Amino acid sequence: MTQTGYLQWAIENTGTVWWHDSAEPGELERGIQRGAVGATTNPFLSHLALSKNRHEWTEEINNALSEHPEPERKAEELMSIAITHAAGQLELQHEKSTGRMGYVCAQVNPARAADRDSMLSMARRFHAWAPNIAVKLPATAAGLDVLEDCTAEGITATLTISYTVPQVIAIAERHRRGIEWARQNGVEPGKCFAVIMIGRLDDYLRDVAYDCKANISESDICQAGLAVSKRAYSIYKQRNYEAVLLVAALRGTYHMTELAGAEVIMSIAPPYQEMLISEELPCEERIDREIPADVIERLSALPEFIKAYEPDGMKPEDFITYGVTQKTLAQFHEGGWKLLENFR
């Protein structure tokens, strides 16, 4: 293996690219050196970056605290400090790729996941922070509406809180509609990155299987998110969607190695980067390897897997009630956004 190991092989030999999963400047710089061409963040990661770099960003932080006493706007302004610093680090990537890569995600308030007007207003404000901001919206019915508006206005978006085939199909279709509106109005359409939180789906289905005492092994559970991702990728290729799949929330190197060869973006946190560099991993394309039929059959005993795996498993109005959605929104709010609101 070379110094950057499997990551370097993937960059040079497959259609996969990867984004760094952190807003902390030092970590992001290492990620860029290893080949990252973007950054995913969330309110928790933004708060962490602020806390670690408080001394370096003292003036900006103090200005945000003094100028915005209202909690939600204060959280926005504090988050913008971490996000704009990351955007600056990725500016060259954005310019070199003529706007195709080099984005950093800026997530709207997770507590507003059903509030169209609030999310659209936030998206417009975040978009103005830097030319390489990808506004992070939830893949709820409301978030899909906002995605279409954003695309039509030329605002790039990342759709998160997304784990399922029906969600990423809905994302791509609404993005396509937004593209049509943009072009009719002479606007350059916003780009779209459609997230599959692969490990969070596995975590959720594991809990469901345990609770109902299903005859499903840990090996089966570890292939659930892969099955969803492979099916989603196949549909994206067949339909030639403009949106790009972004696989996030990895739980092991297998989440990358088993998707090798796919033209997707992998969001990789620093601990998994280290594994992908140091471990001896199979350097071969595996995206076309199907998940065994018996595994799919066993997983299909879980209605929650059917909802995630079948293209018509859910309607957009069901997305906000899918089991893992509320848990993730709560974690992002309580463990991130609320900390920004209470930052002192």
Q: Tell me the C-alpha to C-alpha distance, in Å, between residue 168 and each of 58, 135, 137, 151, 231.
A: 40, 16, 13, 16, 11
**Residue 128 phi, psi (nearest 5):** -80, -10
Type of residue found at 162:
S
* Buried-exposed string 134-170: b where 16+ CB fall within 10 A, e elsewhere: bbbbbbbbbbbbbbbbbbbbebbbbbbbbbbbbbbbb
Task: Look at phi and psi of residue 240 and say left if phi exceeds 0, alpha if psi is from -120 to 50, else beta.
Answer: left
E strand or H helix at 297: helix 293-299
Fold entry, domain 5-330? TIM Barrel (3.20.20)
Write the DSSP symbol of residue 312.
Answer: T
pLDDT of residue 2: 44
- The whole-number pLDDT of residue 1 equals 39
The alpha carbon dihedral of 142, 77, 243, 263 has a sign of negative
Query: What is the Cα–Cα distance from 221 to 36, expressed in whole angstroms?
Result: 29
Can you tell me the distance from the alpha carbon of 335 to that of 325, in angstroms, rounded to the nearest whole number? 15
- Give the pLDDT confidence score for residue 4 in this predicted structure: 66
Q: Which residues pair with 247 in a beta bridge?
A: 196, 266
Instruction: Report how far residue 85's alpha carbon sits from residue 53's, in angstroms, rounded to the nearest whole number.
Output: 11
Q: Where are the beta strands (DSSP E) in 47-163?
A: 103-107, 133-138, 157-160
pLDDT of residue 5: 87
Give φ, ψ of 196 to 5 degrees.
Answer: -120, 115
Q: Tell how many helices (H) and how many strands (E) occur in the chain.
A: 19, 8
pLDDT of residue 114: 98
Dihedral sign for Cα 52, 272, 140, 135, please. positive
Strands 192-197 vs 157-160: parallel, antiparallel or unpaired: parallel
Q: Are 80 and 60 in contact (CB under 8 A)?
A: no
Helix (H) or strand (E) holding 43: helix 43-52
Domain boundary assignment for the chain: 5-330
Give 10-residue mean pLDDT values along the chain (344 residues).
Answer: 75 92 97 96 97 97 93 97 98 95 98 98 98 98 98 98 98 98 98 98 98 96 98 98 98 97 97 94 96 98 98 98 96 97 94
